[in-house]
Structure 1
């Protein structure tokens, strides 16, 4: 049941033994972040069932985080310093020091998943065009970039943004993006 539950979360989640680094449980998002398919964006990999870093610098960072976890201290791990890097929270869980376990929580690769955004748009009665504008704004695009991307005038995008703000009861675009960033992290493949 636990495996089913963690698959519904859009954050990568993995459970490891602190001492042996043995991977006990991981959802698809965590496995992807540690795989070659994602270019190992986390800087971590699983080899023969054990968590390891891909570089000496990443290995030192991982060992530091696990040492802190042994003492019950949380840490943020960045094993990959390159572009598109993923930060991983290392959260110690109850258990004896050497055999204790840690929960790894991987950062999301984007502000909000498309499915979650679509559910939000539907709950606020946004049109398809408004949903597309909202998605673009959440990707950090400016109104003129959105207009160019959709082949419309900037005034059209501004009108859509006003309508979105009214329908979502947001006082500003910043407030709207903040609302979207706080939506529950539902995994897209299960919604």
Structure 2
């Protein structure tokens, strides 16, 4: 009888350790997220499942064009692409991104731009027009969806505070036919 109790106790300890380990990994390192909507098309599709690295910005800084997940004002998590970093002046003219006055290529939009015939993918704007700021404030990001015509992003919700950023994502793991790393 003592041996059975000992074996049950060992299994209980192993189970508790496994649950604590899984919870720790999910809370501190990685988490799953589901793409909800079409705002990141064609890069990401509605209902794609991805892995968010929560550790990425604890040991590093966001880079331009990273795909990030953040808590949006609507108590919802958004997936968008980093366009402007702190101190950047962001502007769009004639469907071209300008950062600090320099044109910047966005190769992930090339296919979407060639399919359009009626208007530009991204309408013209400057930060001053949108938010009365010349540059992205310190501790904030300017983010946009790849589906520029149908994305609720920093043009609508404002700058994203770094403390709202959950992490970086670049791995689609579901559906199986779409498993890939994204840029």
Same fold flag (TM > 0.5)? no
* Larger RCO (CA within 8 A; separation ≥ 6): 2
More helix by share: 1
More strand by share: 2
What TM-score do the two structures reach when normalised by structure 1?
A: 0.24
